[in-house]
């Protein structure tokens, strides 16, 4: 009996070399293969008469092979097979290159179906490298909606179609993880039918219904997982801080600026969470420059003032050091110590210390607020009474990374019996509510969707011509003459091109230094620099010893430089709106008017719709919504970062589907909290948990 867990080694038609190639795509079982969904389909479902062929259109034809000949070209020695296909209405020339098996397989008088793109060559209809099948066989590669799959070297869509069809043509009935009453209520097909329809759809509607079924499956699992975490979280115990509000309000009254209404609301929500004896699990979702750091600082103050410890986790050493300097200055008159713990830096207050001294101060409780990278998440580090963990994603930690950090932080030796820390996660990526519900359904949400009153809107312009570039360089020079500074950002091309990116940054730094601004001081920042080197460059820029900073996009440029007034982004079309908004947010932090210039790449359209949105819109939440519509959820998180399967990512902004999945998950867990009556669902959820973490 074939099940989804049946190994592909059980099928004689799949030879060892192909098993190795399939393994490269993480395909080892029947389930792996059947869940390797098509990325698209070629519509070859309509079979045309040859006389009705349309040049440059894809179509399917059926006829008799009138002639077939294979020969070598005299110049390159390439093997070319030409055949003439005929039906009652006309003739069609077929051409294959370097495919020896064609001549051995196809013979004159054979009745075949062919699919491909028609071209008109010297008055004759022609298809180059068409897919073909004998008319007597079931349509797999022609004459239907033909699935196209993700491939790897030596593993084609044709091969995958053949193997998948072979399995689906057997008498199978897979056990369904979704209860039948839910399927009936939502009018969804069974698992077996959905798998048949997604790989062999008879109609477009078959395909859509199947994808809807699998999107529901993934979303249902996400929501069950989120609700289970929430149920577990609700029964945990944490230290309550009922009197923290008065201390925080007194501190706020002495700040040299007013909190926005959004900041005040978030602060109240966090204070209410900290007053409870159950752990806070809140996401602080804010726009660039909306003041997340001060809210995190005030939350830390609530706990540290009550003689308990706080850890603030930053994604990079540079940002950890920046947070430390900000909080050390902010709390310099408070009766507790602020510490910094990274691989490169160990500080207690103003004093640099060795690692052992710092660890002792953490264990004894002398260090009350500890700013660190994830290097602190080690078994040998012991705390005195850790009661609050703040995770600063800063556009870097994805969903799974954040979850890992929270999991590991929860395991720390926090010095408290029968209690776990409160958790506050900050994200610098404005997330539309729809995505927040999907990704963070188990977290309470605070939104900072309001900018400080003294912030000027950053003027954004698209620059496309050589004249534009000359003007922007002159403009930068004028701003620097006024005592300002500028950023130049270069794009990250692809994950495998890190060295190419560094070379591009070095080359641009050289060009600007020698040809454009020879009289200016220009710094260079890229991912291959060591932490201390990055720190030195940023310190020079912050201390106004550099006029321009050339930086690659993989380097965290979240350092606060109030004096920087110009942001120039090269190849801006390579970035999503949210990323561009992050970079733009590096300027406009002082009192002066600031500017952002977007230079599209050479092949980008001058009227690039996304870049125009940047010009017209300054609100990060609005931009995120537009990015969601233009490019999908992957633009905000990246599928790899999220850990969420592609088919769920495609539907993750479908509010109705998410709500239905959440309602069904809530009902099911109310009846069966531990899924004891649904063992397959329990088993699938355990596997699912390996891919995606929502803690």
pLDDT score for 439:
61
Is residue 568 domain-shared with residue 514, that is, in the same domain? yes
Q: Within a domain: residue 63?
A: yes
Is residue 377 domain-shared with residue 275, that is, in the same domain? yes
Is residue 401 domain-shared with residue 353, that is, in the same domain? yes
Structural domain including 35 reads: 1-42+155-168
Residue 252 has pLDDT above 50, yes or no: yes
Which among 240-254, 362-376, 395-409 has the top mean pLDDT?
362-376
401 versus 650: the higher-pLDDT residue is 650
Q: What is the distance, to the nearest Å, from the Cα of residue 212 to the centroid of all Cα atoms in its chain?
A: 22
Q: Within a domain: residue 651?
A: no
Is residue 531 domain-shared with residue 608, that is, in the same domain? yes
Residue 442 corresponds to which tokens in the numbers above? 């188990």
Alpha carbon distance 568, 306 (integer Å): 46
Residue 247 corresponds to which tokens in the numbers above? 């201390």
Question: Binning pLDDT at 50, 70 and 90, where does residue 396 land?
Answer: low
pLDDT score for 446:
87
Residue after which a domain boundary falls, among 110, 143, 176: 143
Alpha carbon distance 312, 320 (integer Å): 8
Question: Binning pLDDT at 50, 70 and 90, where does residue 501 land?
Answer: low
Q: Within a domain: residue 662?
A: no
Is residue 56 domain-shared with residue 37, that is, in the same domain? no
Question: Binning pLDDT at 50, 70 and 90, where does residue 109 land?
Answer: very high
> Which percentage of the chain shows pLDDT scores above 70?
87
Domain count, the chain: 4
Q: Within a domain: residue 123?
A: yes
Q: What angle do CA 50, 56, 60 make, to 5 degrees?
A: 40
Residue 401 has pLDDT above 90, yes or no: no
Render pLDDT for 27-42 as a digit per residue (tens, 0 to 9). 999 999 999 999 899 9
Q: What are phi and psi of 546, to 5 degrees?
A: -125, 145
**What are the helix and strand counts (H, E) for the chain?**
25, 24
Q: Within a domain: residue 644?
A: no
User: Which range has the worst mean pLDDT, 86-95, 605-614, 643-652?
Assistant: 643-652
Q: Are 109 and 83 in contact (CB under 8 A)?
A: no
Spatial CA neighbour of 304 closest among 288, 321, 326, 327: 327
pLDDT score for 580:
85
Adjacent-strand bridge partners of 522: 548
Render pLDDT for 139-190 as a digit per residue (tens, 0 to 9). 899 989 999 998 887 889 999 999 999 999 888 889 999 999 999 999 999 9
Q: Within a domain: residue 661?
A: no
Is residue 535 domain-shared with residue 598, that is, in the same domain? yes
Residue 2 corresponds to which tokens in the numbers above? 């074939």
Alpha carbon distance 273, 22 (integer Å): 49
Is residue 17 domain-shared with residue 69, that is, in the same domain? no
Q: Are 37 and 212 in contact (CB under 8 A)?
A: no
Q: Within a domain: residue 237?
A: no
Q: What is the distance, to the nearest Å, from the Cα of residue 304 to the centroid of all Cα atoms in its chain?
A: 35
Is residue 407 domain-shared with residue 470, that is, in the same domain? no
pLDDT score for 692:
52
Alpha carbon distance 676, 302 (integer Å): 42
pLDDT score for 528:
79
CATH number at residue 591: 3.40.50.300
Q: Are 575 and 440 in contact (CB under 8 A)?
A: no
With residues binned 3-state (H G I as helix, E B as strand, rest as coil), the percentages for the chain, rounded to 5, are 40, 20, 35
Q: What is the distance, to the nearest Å, from the Cα of residue 393 to the centroid of all Cα atoms in its chain?
A: 13
Residue after which a domain boundary falls, among 566, 596, 617: 617
CATH number at residue 88: 2.40.50.140
Residue after which a domain boundary falls, among 168, 203, 228: 168
Render pLDDT for 564-595 as a digit per residue (tens, 0 to 9). 999 999 988 887 787 788 888 888 877 889 99
Which among 186-195, 385-394, 411-420 has the top mean pLDDT?
186-195
Residue 436 has pLDDT above 80, yes or no: no
pLDDT score for 642:
46
pLDDT score for 603:
67
Spatial CA neighbour of 202 closest among 40, 38, 43: 43
Q: Within a domain: residue 403?
A: yes
Alpha carbon distance 126, 90 (integer Å): 12
Mean pLDDT of 396-417: 62
Residue 631 has pLDDT above 80, yes or no: no
Render pLDDT for 61-88 as a digit per residue (tens, 0 to 9). 999 999 999 988 877 778 899 999 999 9
Is residue 406 domain-shared with residue 257, that is, in the same domain? yes
Is residue 366 domain-shared with residue 490, that is, in the same domain? no
User: Which range has the worst mean pLDDT, 27-36, 330-339, 521-530, 575-584?
Assistant: 575-584
Q: What is the DSSP letter of 513?
A: I
Alpha carbon distance 606, 611 (integer Å): 9
By CB atoms closer than 10 A (0-12, 13-18, 19+), residue 39 is exposed
CA terminus-to-terminus distance, the chain: 37
Half-sphere exposure of 2 (CA within 13 A, CB side): 18
Is residue 481 domain-shared with residue 526, that is, in the same domain? yes
Alpha carbon distance 103, 96 (integer Å): 10
Spatial CA neighbour of 152 closest among 4, 19, 9, 35: 19
Q: Are 292 and 430 in contact (CB under 8 A)?
A: no
Question: Binning pLDDT at 50, 70 and 90, where does residue 498 land?
Answer: low
pLDDT score for 406:
60
SS3 339: strand
Is residue 295 domain-shared with residue 437, that is, in the same domain? yes
Q: Are 605 and 577 in contact (CB under 8 A)?
A: no
215 versus 407: the higher-pLDDT residue is 215
Q: Are 404 and 313 in contact (CB under 8 A)?
A: no
Q: Are 37 and 647 in contact (CB under 8 A)?
A: yes
């Amino acid at each position: 009996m074939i099940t989804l867990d049946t190994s592909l080694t059980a099928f004689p038609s799949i030879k060892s070399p192909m098993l190795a190639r399939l393994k490269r795509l993480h395909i080892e079982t029947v389930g792996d293969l059947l869940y390797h969904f098509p990325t698209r389909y070629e519509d070859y479902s309509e079979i045309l008469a040859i006389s009705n062929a349309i040049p440059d259109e894809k179509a399917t034809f059926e006829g008799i092979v009138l002639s077939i000949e294979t020969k070598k070209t005299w110049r390159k020695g390439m093997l070319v097979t030409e055949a003439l296909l005929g039906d009652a209405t006309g003739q069609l020339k077929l051409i294959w290159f370097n495919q020896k098996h064609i001549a051995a397989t196809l013979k004159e008088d054979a009745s075949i179906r062919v699919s491909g793109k028609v071209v008109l060559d010297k008055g004759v209809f022609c298809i180059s490298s068409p897919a073909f099948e004998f008319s007597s066989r079931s349509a797999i590669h022609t004459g239907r909606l033909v699935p196209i799959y993700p491939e790897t070297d030596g593993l084609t869509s044709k091969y995958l179609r053949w193997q998948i069809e072979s399995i689906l043509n057997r008498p199978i009935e897979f056990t369904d993880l979704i209860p039948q009453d839910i399927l009936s209520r939502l009018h969804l097909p069974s698992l077996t039918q959905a798998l048949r329809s997604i790989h062999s759809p008879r109609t477009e509607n078959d395909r859509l219904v199947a994808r809807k079924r699998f999107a529901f499956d993934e979303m249902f699992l996400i929501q069950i997982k989120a609700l289970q975490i929430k149920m577990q979280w609700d029964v945990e115990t944490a230290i309550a801080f009922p009197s923290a509000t008065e201390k925080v309000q007194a501190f706020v009254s002495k700040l040299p600026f007013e909190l926005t209404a959004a900041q005040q609301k978030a602060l109240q929500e966090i204070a209410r969470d900290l007053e409870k004896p159950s752990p806070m699990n809140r996401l602080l979702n804010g726009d660039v420059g909306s003041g997340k750091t001060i809210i995190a600082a005030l939350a830390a103050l609530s706990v540290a003032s009550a003689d308990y410890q706080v850890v603030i986790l930053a994604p990079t050493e540079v940002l950890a050091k920046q947070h430390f300097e900000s909080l050390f200055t902010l709390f310099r008159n408070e009766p507790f110590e602020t510490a910094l713990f990274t691989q490169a830096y160990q500080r207690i207050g103003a004093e640099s210390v060795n690692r052992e001294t710092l660890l002792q101060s953490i264990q004894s409780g002398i260090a009350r607020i500890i700013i660190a990278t994830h290097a602190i998440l080690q078994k040998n580090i012991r705390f005195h009474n850790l009661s609050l963990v703040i995770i600063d994603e800063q556009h870097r930690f994805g969903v799974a990374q954040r979850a890992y950090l929270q999991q590991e932080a929860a395991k720390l030796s926090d010095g408290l019996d029968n209690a776990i820390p409160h958790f506050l996660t900050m994200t610098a990526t404005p997330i539309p509510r729809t995505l927040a519900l999907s990704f963070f359904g188990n977290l309470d949400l605070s939104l900072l969707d309001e900018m400080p009153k003294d912030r000027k809107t950053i003027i954004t312009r698209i620059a496309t011509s050589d004249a534009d570039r000359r003007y922007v360089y002159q403009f930068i020079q004028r701003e620097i003459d006024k005592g300002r500074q500028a950023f130049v950002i270069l794009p990250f091309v692809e994950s495998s091109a890190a060295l190419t990116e560094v070379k591009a940054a070095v080359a641009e730094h050289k060009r600007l230094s020698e040809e454009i601004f020879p009289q200016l001081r220009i710094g260079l920042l890229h991912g291959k620099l060591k932490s201390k080197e990055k720190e030195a460059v940023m310190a020079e820029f912050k201390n106004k010893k550099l006029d321009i900073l050339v930086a690659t996009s993989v380097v965290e440029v979240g350092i606060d430089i109030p004096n920087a007034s110009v942001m120039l982004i090269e190849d801006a079309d390579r970035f999503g709106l949210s990323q561009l908004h992050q970079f733009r947010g590096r300027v406009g932090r002082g009192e002066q008017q600031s500017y952002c210039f977007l230079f599209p790449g050479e092949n980008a359209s001058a009227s690039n719709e996304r870049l125009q949105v940047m010009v017209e819109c300054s609100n990060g939440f609005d931009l995120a919504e537009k990015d969601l519509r233009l490019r999908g959820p992957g633009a905000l998180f990246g599928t790899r970062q999220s850990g969420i399967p592609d088919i769920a990512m495609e539907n993750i902004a479908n509010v109705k589907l998410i709500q239905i999945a959440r309602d069904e998950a809530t009902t099911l867990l109310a009846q069966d909290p531990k899924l004891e009556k649904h063992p397959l669902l329990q088993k699938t959820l355990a596997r699912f948990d390996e891919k995606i973490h929502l803690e």
